[in-house]
Amino acid sequence: MIAKTPPMGWNSWDCYGAAVTEDIVRANADYMAKHLKPFGWEYIVVDIQWSEPTAENHEYHPFTGLCMDEYSRLIPAENRFPSSAEGKGFAPLAEYVHSLGLKFGIHIMRGIPRQAVHRNTPIKGSDRTARQIANTNSICAWNTDMYGVNADADGAKEYYESLFELYASWGVDFVKVDDICRELPHEEKELLLLSDALHNCGRDMVLSLSPGPALIEKAELYKQCANMWRITDDFWDKWELLYDMFSRAEKWCTHAGAGHWPDADMLPVGAILQDYGKEGWTKFTHDEQYTMLTLWCMMRSPLMIGGDMVYNDDFTLKLLTNPAVLEMLSQSRSAHQLYRRTIDGIERIVWTAFRRDGGRYLAIFNTSEKTGSITVTLDECELDVPVVSLRDLWSGKSIDNVSEIKAVVPPHGVKAYFVDV
């Protein structure tokens, strides 16, 4: 089984949109290998439109020309990924990432390139052509690169098998598939076809589905097909989006388990939106970043760093390398919200999870605009004991013989504990 615990890595979308280049990817891989790998971070993922030679930022060029091989498959743009020249594709870049002890991933759009359909190019392993397998009524609402694939058409199976044969030959370990998660059912057959091709390609690859919000009634389908799926649309550094994630986390947390993880999306920390210069630094406060990472780890969401790691400051590096917090991804189980209440103008949201080898985790969130003095009784923590010992996961400080948990929590902040009974 792959993805036994939630995948942890970096994705180029937040900081570079469609315009990331090979040198940037290599620099971030170097940084991860040096600073983050010992803490479980391992995936380096190239996001959307790596086949687009003229990509500049987060804006797409409508109906632009893409780099494509003779079998209707997109390939890297050589001007942005020089090592892909002479038909090598992403193999050299993946080999470099692997040499650092990391894993390599790519983003793809569901379907077949529109330009392949217009040129009616061949499908490898089939006598069908792109035009014969395309569903031209199935188009992405926000990107013009692809048509959907008619999963019932002769040649559709061979097309997706040829894609993942290519990705396996490149050494890809992670595939983020876009425009396939939130608008099932017309994409459901295509998802099953794609998933079968990935799982039969002969190489282990994490399958990640985007964008959200995913459909809760399709949770079992996502588990059957994929290792992670987005429960939200693109998540950015806005408090209202983080606040909204509490209700999404409560709804989806029971579906987290080995091999399949509800995905709360990337962590917009550090130097995001690089095309905006200094204005591109995350707008989240330090307390909001503690809240975000605590909630993601408590609910066991995959963790994908969104900022250019090379520019990390000391706070961001420490945020991403706190072993006590990150440990929740591998050591916790049965995470759930205990309660959500507003008392004296302070909304507190309390979560807990069991630790596999005993004890439990507890997080007290203050989602209000003012500092709150919050008390949580042991009964409210579902603990039938007179006293416990606490270890603050962020500060490392310990307190023994506690009969009730009292915390002063800053606005939009959190206190997170390991509770030893």
Confidence (pLDDT) at 273: 82
Mean pLDDT by 10 residues, the chain (421 residues): 96 96 98 98 98 95 97 98 98 98 98 98 98 95 96 97 98 97 80 97 97 95 97 97 98 97 98 72 97 98 97 97 97 96 96 94 97 94 91 96 94 97 85
Confidence (pLDDT) at 280: 86
Confidence (pLDDT) at 187: 80
Confidence (pLDDT) at 199: 96
Q: In Å, how far are 8, 13, 104 from 176, measured between CA atoms? A: 13, 12, 11
Query: How many other CB atoms sit within 10 Å of the CB of residue 256?
Result: 22
Confidence (pLDDT) at 1: 84
Confidence (pLDDT) at 278: 60
Confidence (pLDDT) at 275: 57
